[in-house]
Amino acid sequence: MSLLVRFDPWHSSLCTCPPKLTFNPYTGCDHRCVYCYASSYVPRFFECRPKKDLLLRLRREAIKLKGELISISNSSDPYPTVEAEAGLTRRCLQILAECNCQIQIITKSNIVLRDMDLLKRASSMVALTITTDDAETAKALEPYAPPPEERLKTAERLAAEGIPVVIRIDPIIPYVNENPEFLVRAAAEIGVRHITASTYKVKMDNWQRLSLAMPKIAEKLKPLYFEKGEKMARYLYLPKGLRIRLLENLAKLAKKYGLKFATCREGLKGLNTATCDGSWLIKGRS
Ligand code: SF4
């Protein structure tokens, strides 16, 4: 089985990403986000373990590539706690850089700063997920991920080194983080140029975790998803009118602070002002 696969999340037209390949250096993730989607299809998801024969397989496959965009990673974080010691993602980046690939990192972790030397030399970008600037809310939602302040500092350092940075405000959850103006303004001030946002989609396992972590919020969300919501690609979405209101608000905030904006898996392409995943920021692509 190939390690590198075509990025095709949920096998649906809801994804507006440009053609790219993806792989996960690790199976599972120890950030334990309550809203995580990958935990619904990967067994023992919160036990993070390296992919079998990772470097061998990547070397074998990467040598055949011709400068493709490689997104790392979409069903786990490429910088779980163990990566600080293990350095597997770093070795993957070395292989991909040697093969002249374009690299897109998606992470919540400041460990990415360790690899700035490689990212600077390659054609690359980093998407940092920051759901909220409120540390307490972040602790409830993403208990083992670095706090938002640290993630913002990470974004600032990457941008200062000339590595393009996108902030993903993902997921947007009503009553929790629906009006993140402070975060958008802070992003603009530190040199971020693009925001991607997406609303929370219910799967039964993430709903159970969210209900335990935020019982009062879950009570308010219940009718929005289970009575008025719509089912798309096996996920429960908020009612369309509400999603449009939430994401239009984000689009306006991005415009106000001079940032490009895109939605992710919403079927609302009309709100996008740039390629949804921010890959347009990679040198030579725009
Ligand atoms: S960082 Fe991503 S993959 Fe890891 S638990 Fe959180 S949502 Fe899931």
pLDDT in tens, 133-188: 999 999 999 999 999 999 999 999 999 999 999 999 999 999 999 999 999 999 99
Nearest CA, atom 7, ligand 1? 36
Report pLDDT for 8.
83
Reply yes or no on whether the pLDDT at 286 is more than 70: no
Reply yes or no on whether the pLDDT at 56 is more than 90: yes
Residue 160 Cα, ligand 1 centroid: separation in angstroms?
A: 26
What are the structural domains of the chain?
15-281 (3.80.30.30)
CA distance 134 to 218: 19
Q: Tell me what the mean pLDDT of segment 112-122 comes to.
A: 97
Ligand 1 atom at minimal distance to the Cα of residue 46: 5
Residue 241 Cα, ligand 1 centroid: separation in angstroms?
A: 27
DSSP lists the bridge partners of residue 49 as 27
Question: Peptide bond preceding 73: is omega within 30 degrees of 0, i.e. cis?
Answer: yes
- Cβ contact 224:201 at 8 Å: no
Reply yes or no on whether the pLDDT at 272 is more than 90: yes
Residue 31 Cα, ligand 1 centroid: separation in angstroms?
A: 6
Ligand 1 atom at minimal distance to the Cα of residue 32: 5
Collect all residues with Cβ–Cβ distance below 8 Å to 127 and sequence separation of at least 6: 104, 105, 106, 107, 165, 166, 167, 168, 196, 277, 278
What confidence tens digit (pLDDT) does each residue in 4-46 have?
999 987 777 899 999 999 999 999 999 999 999 999 999 999 9
Q: What is the pTM of this model?
A: 0.96
Pocket of ligand 1 from Cβ distances under 6 Å:
29, 31-33, 36, 38, 76-77, 108
